[in-house]
Amino acid sequence: MSLIVQKFGGSSVADAESIKRVAKRIVETRKAGNSVVVAVSAMGDTTDELVDLAHEVTPFPDPRELDMLLTTGERISMALLAMAIKSMGVDARSYTGSQAGMITDAQHGAARIVDVTPVRLREALDEGAIAIVAGFQGFNRDSRDITTLGRGGSDTTAVALAAALGADVCEIYTDVDGVFTADPRVVPRAHKLDVVTSEEMLELAASGAKVLHIRAVEYARRHGVTMHVRSSFNNHEGTWVVNSKEETPWRSPSSPASPET
Ligand code: ADP
Ligand code: ASP
Ligand code: MG
Atom of ligand 1 nearest to the CA of 192: 24
- The pLDDT value recorded for residue 244 is 87
Q: What's the gap in Å between 177 CA and the centre of ligand 1?
A: 10
Q: What's the gap in Å between 65 CA and the centre of ligand 3?
A: 23
- Phi, psi at 121, each rounded to 5°: -70, -40
Which residues does the chain have with pLDDT short of 70? 247-261
Query: Pick from 230, 231, 253, 228: which is nearest to 242 by CA?
Result: 228
- The pLDDT value recorded for residue 168 is 97
Residue 104, classed as helix, strand or coil, is strand
- The pLDDT value recorded for residue 246 is 77
152-194 pLDDT tens trace:
999 999 999 999 999 999 999 999 999 999 999 999 999 999 9
- The pLDDT value recorded for residue 255 is 55
- The pLDDT value recorded for residue 156 is 98
Atom of ligand 1 nearest to the CA of 11: 2
**pTM for the full model?**
0.95
Where exactly are the structural domains of the chain? 3-175
- The pLDDT value recorded for residue 248 is 58
Indicate if the alpha-carbon torsion angle 261, 40, 166, 113 is positive or negative: positive
In the CATH scheme, what architecture does the domain 3-175 have? 3-Layer(aba) Sandwich (3.40)
Q: What's the gap in Å between 10 CA and the centre of ligand 3?
A: 7
Query: Pick from 168, 170, 161: which is nearest to 138 by CA?
Result: 161
Tell me the C-alpha distance between 3 and 33, whole Å: 9
- The pLDDT value recorded for residue 28 is 98
Ligand 1 site, residue 9, Cβ cutoff 6 A: yes
Let me know: does 113 contact 133? Beta carbons within 8 Å: no
- The pLDDT value recorded for residue 259 is 41
Let me know: does 109 contact 148? Beta carbons within 8 Å: yes
Atom of ligand 2 nearest to the CA of 136: 5
